Amino acid sequence: MQNNLRPESMARINNFELANAFIEEQIAVIREQVGEKKVLLALSGGVDSSVVAALLVKAIGKQLVCVHVNHGLMRKDESENVVKIFKDELDANLIYVDATDRFLDLLAGVSDPESKRKIIGKEFINVFADEARKLEGISYLAQGTIYPDILESIKQAEGKKAVKSHHNVGGLPEDLQFVLVEPIKLLYKDEVRVVGEALGLPHAMVYRQPFPGPGLGVRCLGAITRNRLNALREADAILREEFDINGLAEKVWQYFVVIPDIKSVGVKDDSRYDGWPAIIRAVNTVDAMTASIEEIPYAVLHKITSRITNEVDGINRVLYDLTPKPSGTIEWE
């Protein structure tokens, strides 16, 4: 663990000059570590794995093989953007796996939140391992481990509790053995973002709000159906668009839509219209352990309500969740 510790002399990377120096240094370190060998990376589209991907593309180009698994629970346009940025713009070696059917078939009829999480986590490893086995001559696995992950592991080890596995692709089968490449493991999140922008990644990707690994699976409550998942994806896209337009995206830490598995009676075009409610959640927090509710201007809430109920099939009401954490958690599950 010792050489995983950040040297006290290491300056906080808070400007492009320091970020560029870090990038140059890491490029040399990565080239030295991997030589001519190939490196595999599970690219989720989150900040950390995206920054690692951009750094590795710069250091070793086509020796990097990125695998993006779309589990069908991504937000609107998210997987398309990963492909656009990394494959089309950065010319990365990217394997895109649309595993939507694999995931949604396994999840059909499963309503218990923990069971859903386990299915998604396990299948993610299965899909990734299937892709890894098809590839030959890969010796290294790159990961977006960051410094708080290391600190938490150390803290938990000292406290003699089970050490939490922070690996992005934890639990890979034993027949897949890789040496790890973790170029941002000494950086804090704010530093990762500065490095990401210095690498030329889009602002929206670098400042992307946190998104749980199981994705929309924890926001489409109860047993997931494709119809309700589509409604959730569309409603969430409207919420994000309106937050952007109204300058709220910079002020609110996390905001999203949840759709429970209930319907209520509504009315549309003078006829009865049974639909799901869309629940808006918008919270501010420092460490996600507690969270407060952001005051959203009424006019914005009205606009979002009107757009969601008019534009999204199947939704007839919009609710705003006023519950802080505690007593609620941030996600509904």
Which residues lie near ligand XMP (CB under 6 A)? 210, 212-214, 254, 288, 325, 329-331
User: Using alpha carbons only, how large is the chain's radius of gyration in Å?
Assistant: 21
Nearest distance from residue 331's CB to ligand XMP, in Å? 3
Cα 14 to Cα 10, 201, 210, 327, distances in angstroms: 12, 16, 21, 35
Nearer to ligand XMP among residue 113 and residue 202 (C-beta): 113
Dihedral sign, Cα of residue 294, residue 295, residue 299, residue 302: positive
Looking at beta carbons only, is 283 or 308 nearer to ligand XMP?
283
- For the chain, the distance separating the N- and C-terminal CA atoms, rounded to the nearest angstrom, is 34
Q: What angle do CA 166, 189, 12 make, to 5 degrees?
A: 125
Shortest distance, position 286 Cβ to ligand XMP, whole Å: 12
From 320, 291, 323, 322, select the one nearest 303 (Cα to Cα): 320
Closer by beta carbon to ligand XMP, 246 or else 254: 254
In the complex, least distance from residue 89 CB atom to ligand XMP, rounded to whole angstroms: 25
User: Taking the complex as a whole, how short is the minimal distance between the CB of residue 209 and ligand XMP, in angstroms?
Assistant: 8
| Choice between 271 and 327, CB closer to ligand XMP | 327
Count of helices and strands (H, E) across the chain:
10, 11
Distance of CA 214 to the CA centre of its chain: 9
- Would you state the structure tokens that stand for residue 313, as one six-digit string? 């099939």
**Whose Cβ is closer to ligand XMP: residue 167's or residue 325's?**
325
Return the amino acid letter for 317. R
CB nearer to ligand XMP: pick between 267 and 289: 289
Token pair 């606009």: residue? 303
CB of 194 to ligand XMP, least distance (A): 21
Closest distance to ligand XMP from the beta carbon of 34 (Å): 27
Nearer to ligand XMP, 84 or 118 (CB): 118
Q: Closest approach of Cβ 328 to ligand XMP, in Å?
A: 8
Please give the structure tokens belonging to residue 90.
């950065």
What tokens appear for 19 in the block? 């970020």
* Token code pair at residue 66: 């990125």
The answer to whether 43 and 69 have CB atoms below 8 angstroms apart is no
Based on CB atoms, which residue is closest to ligand XMP, 186 or 258?
Answer: 258
In sequence order, which residues have a C-beta less than 8 Å from that of residue 136 and are 6 or more positions away? none
CB 275, min distance to ligand XMP, A: 26
Give the tokens for residue 27. 């490029």
